[in-house]
Amino acid sequence: MVRKIAERGDAIPALAEIFREHGFAGASLSEITKRTGLGKGSLYHFFPNGKEEMAQAVLDDVAGWFETNVFMPLRESEDPAAGIDQMFKAVIRFFHSGRRVCLVGTFALDDTRDRFASEIQSYFAVWTRVLAAALKRRGFDTRAARETAEDVVAGIQGALVLARAHDDSALFTRAMKRLHQRTKGVHRDRP
């Protein structure tokens, strides 16, 4: 059932799912009109620059969600462990326990990356940086915090792919538990 779309923001969830399922290149205008229930005129009214503007709006929406639900708790939580716990809970919720692919990751894997390079790089760089900072506040030395943050973000992305490949969301859940456990070790600065 197509959701009633009265304004631009109402179209973004449907557009996000279309881009997740078909990628940028595979998201045809006919699929977009069918899934959003909007005619071409309405789509171009909301998104005058077409599919590229639609994808940009979706990327902005994902960035906003991650800023509020993942990055801010990592940055601002007085207890870094609580911020990291919040990150894992939010990631599990956002990716529907591994049943939803990462749109930004999908865009990073094909020639779409070049169109949205800044947004894609920022998403992963900010995530890694704020997680590393939280790990450092938790007691990890600088190098271990950076490496663990890189491993965790890469592990989340890999777990999404593996869970999807095996059609097994439990695989994602198990990986999240192992990755979360990695964030609990304490590493001191070396001389």
Domain residue spans in the chain? 56-182
DSSP states of 14-45? HHHHHHHHHHHHH--HHHHHHHH---HHHHHH
Q: What is the 8-class DSSP label of residue 189?
A: P
| CA 48/CA 29 separation, integer angstroms | 13
- Give pLDDT, residue 161: 94
| CA 75/CA 131 separation, integer angstroms | 8
56-182 belongs to CATH 1.10.357.10: yes
- Give pLDDT, residue 1: 44
CB 83 within 8 A of CB 44: no
| CA 30/CA 33 separation, integer angstroms | 5
Closest CA to 91 of 183, 185, 22, 187: 183
| CA 60/CA 142 separation, integer angstroms | 30
User: What are the CB-based long-range contacts (under 8 Å, 24+) for 117-124?
Assistant: 119/56, 119/59, 119/60, 119/63, 120/59, 122/63, 123/59, 123/62, 123/63, 123/66, 124/153
Residue whose entry in the numeric block shows the structure tokens 């894992």? 88
Closest CA to 155 of 188, 129, 191, 128: 128
Closest CA to 105 of 119, 87, 93, 90: 119
DSSP states of 130-153? HHHHHHHHHT--HHHHHHHHHHHH
pLDDT mean values, one per 10 residues, the chain (191 residues): 71 94 92 92 93 96 97 97 98 94 89 90 97 97 97 97 94 96 70 44
CB atoms < 10 A from the CB of 75, how many?
A: 17
- Give pLDDT, residue 3: 55
